[in-house]
Amino acid sequence: MSAAKFSVSTQDHVLLSNFGVKNTSILKEFSLNVTSNILVITFTPLGNSIAFLNAIEVVSVPDGLIANEVDTVNSPARFQGLLPLALETVWRVNMGGPKVTFDNDTLWRTWVPDRSFLLQENFAKDISNIAAVQYVKGGATEDIAPPTVYGTATEMNSSGDPNSNFNISWEFNVDPGFQYFVRFHFCDIVSKSLHELYFNAYIDSWIVLRDVDLTTYSFNTLGAAFYMDFVTLSAVSTKLRISIGPSLVGGAYPNAILNGLEIMKMNNSMGSLSAAASMIIPSDSSSKKNVGVIVGVSIGAFITVVLAVILFVLCRKGKKLALQRNSKTWVPISINGGNTQSMGSKYSSGTTASAISNYGYRIPFAAVQEATNNFDESWVIGIGGFGKVYKGVLSNGTQVAVKRGNPRSQQGLAEFQTEIEMLSQFRHRHLVSLIGYCDEKNEMILVYEYMENGTLKSHLYGSGLPNLSWKQRLEICIGAARGLHYLHTGYAKAVIHRDVKSANILLDENLMAKVADFGLSKTGPEIDQTHVSTAVKGSFGYLDPEYFRRQQLTEKSDVYSFGVVLFEVLCARPVIDPSLPREMVNLAEWAMKWQNRGQLEQIIDSTLVGKVRPDSLRKFGETAEKCLADFGVDRPAMGDVLWNLEYALQLQEAVTDGDPEENSTNMIGELSPQVNNFGSSSTNVSATQLGVSVVDDLSGVSMSRVFSQLLKSEGR
C-alpha cells in the first residue's frame, strides 16, 4: 500500500491527485457545498496502482458556518462566491491553549496548539479565562469554535513594558498557487473593561486589521466571541505568516491577542485542490477502475468530508481505541475482569458466569455450531453492523437467534460486553431475552430468544410482508414503549438505549413487540446530575438533534428516536429516503410539517386509508409531535408516551356517545395525490451507497440536512 497512487474526486472537484503516503497516517478534511441529492466520491487508481482508505466520515454543518462573501487581502473589493468552492482544512489552531479534540467541539473538529508555529516563542504568552467567554446574538456560536478555543489566547509578552513594540508571528506551510481562506477567532479575555485593547493583525506583509478595538465587533460586551474572515492572494511562497502587534492609537497599552486560527485551501480555477491535478473529474463513463462511494444527502447541505487513510481509522470512540490496538484478532473477553481465557471448556448446564447473574450462560462453540448447522448461510435471517444473525435450534429444541460478530466489524468487544451486561440484568416481556453467549476461539456470539416475525421495519416497507392493521401498529408501539419505559425507570439508574429504531423492535409469533440490540446502551446520569456527557452514537434519521449538538445524553434522547419510529409506523416509509423530493427526504421533518398543518391524514400509509378513526390519529400525531420537541425538557417521559398511545388505541376501538368529532366513526378518507405516490415504498440503498448507522454529533441547521446524509437499510 505504501506504493499506492490514486486520485479522489467528487462530481465537481478534485480533492486529491497523484496521492500517496509512505509508512505514516494521514487525515484529510474537506468542506463541500452539496447542491444535489447525491454526493459521489470517486477513488481512481493511477496506472497499475490501487486506491484505498480506512475510514470516511460525512458531517453536516450549519449553512452559515462560512459566508459566501468575505474581505480580500490587499483589495477593497470583497471576495464573492466562496460557497460553491471546495475547501481543504490545512490548519486549525488553538492559540494559547492545549489541543482541543472532538470531545469538546460540537462539530468534532480538532484544534492543535500554536507553540510549534511561533517564530519567537519568547514574544508570546499564554492566557486562559474560559469563564469569561460569552456567545452573544450576532456573534460567534459554539459551532464556530468552542469555549475551549475562545477561552484561551496568545498575547504579547511585554513584561509590563509600556514601550513594547513587536509583533507575534506564526508561520504555516502551504501549497503555492492557491488562495486561502483565513479565519481569525477573537475574544477579549484579558481586558478589565471595554475599549482597553487596540491592535493590528497581518497576513504575510499585508495589514488586514488596523487599530482594531474588539469592543466594536463584540457588541459592547466584554468577553464576547467573534471571528473575522479573509481570502488571501494566490500564494507564491510555501509559507503563510500570520502576525498580531500593538496599535499606534494614542494611550493604548501595547498588547495584542489571538484566540484561534483556521486556514483552508480554496480550489483553483480547474476545480482542484491538488497542485498535481491533471486528472479530469470522472463522468459516468469513466474508467471501470474508478471506485465510487455514493452518499445520499439533503439538497443544499454544507458538509465536511473527512478521509482517514493509511492504517489510521478515524475513531470517534476515544477511550475505546485501546481495545482496537491490542491484536489483529479478537481475544475472548473476560466478563469477570480476570484473564481472557475462554470459559467454554468449563461450561455445564448448571454453570453461570457470575458477572451476568443467573441469566446469561457461556455456551460452548460446538453447541452453537450444532444449533446453526455449522453457520449454514441458508439459515441467515439478518445482517447488521455487528455481523450476521442465524436462526438456530438448541439441543433441547429451543429456537434461537444467533448473532455472530464479524471480525471486520467496528462494533466489537465493547458492544459485545455491553450487550451481555445489559441484557443479563433485565427480564421484561417487552425486552428481547439473552439466552447465552460464546467467546471461544476468538468468537463473539450472542444467543437470543427467537422472534418469529422479525423486525417491525420489515413489516412496514420493503419486504412484501402482509400489511399491519392500525390496531396492530398501535399495540406494537405500546409494547415497545413499555419496554423503553422499563429501561428508563425499572432500576435505580436509568438505562438509555441510544439506538431506538424500527429495526431494533422485534415481533414474536403473536406480533408482540420487544426492544432489542443493547450494544450502544448506557446507564443514565447520577441522581444529582441531569445528563451523561458522551460521544454521539446512534442511527441517522433517529438521532436526537440536541444530543447530537451537545453530546449530553438523557432518557429524552430515546423519546425523540421513538417519536421518529411513531411516524415511521404511521407512514410506512424509511426515515431517510434520498430518492424522494427534497422536502420529503427526512420523515420526521416532513411529517411534522403536515402535523403542524393539522393534515397528518394526508401522508398516512395508503393501506390505512379509511381504517383509522380521526381522534385516534389526532392523539397519535400529538404524541409523536411531543416526542420530537427540539429540547429534551419539552419532551414527555416514556411513561407519558405510553399512556397517550394506550389512549389512542382506546379511541380507535371505542364506539361511545358524546362529541361527534371526538368519537366520530368516520374513517380517514382518500389521500391527496401529491403525497400518495410513495406509499409503502420498498426503496433500498444500492450496494454502491455508503451506509453508516453508528456515529461517534449542529445548531442552526435544518435537521433534514443533518440526518438525511446517510442511510443503512438493514438493522444492526
Are 510 and 482 in contact, with CB atoms under 8 Å apart? Answer: no
DSSP helix, strand, coil percent of the chain (3-state; round to 5):
25, 25, 50
Are 619 and 662 in contact, with CB atoms under 8 Å apart? Answer: no
Are 127 and 190 in contact, with CB atoms under 8 Å apart? Answer: yes
CA distance 391 to 398: 11
Query: Which one is catalytic: 439, 499, 605, 615?
Result: 499
What value, to the nearest 5°, has the Cα angle with vertex 382 and ends 312 and 504? 85
Nearest to 457 by CA among 391, 506, 519: 506
Cell of 675: 403525497
Residue 603 has phi, psi (to 5 degrees) of: -120, 10
593 is in an annotated binding site: no
Q: What stretch of H or E contains 302?
A: strand 302-309
Residue 346 has phi, psi (to 5 degrees) of: -95, 5
Report DSSP letters for 659-709, one per residue: -TTTT--PPP-PPPGGGSSSSS------TTB---------TTS-HHHHHSS
AA letter at 568: E
Are 493 and 426 in contact, with CB atoms under 8 Å apart? Answer: no
Cell of 619: 392523539
Q: What stretch of H or E contains 382?
A: strand 380-383
Known catalytic residue: 499? yes
Residue 518 has phi, psi (to 5 degrees) of: -105, 20
Cell of 53: 482508505
Report DSSP letters for 24-35, one per residue: S-EEEEEEEE--
- Local structure of 56: helix, strand or coil: strand
Report DSSP letters for 182-219, one per residue: EEEEE---S-SSTT--EEEEEETTEEEEEEEEHHHHTT
Place of cell 481495545: 323
Which residues are documented as binding site for ATP? 403
Active-site annotation, residues: 499
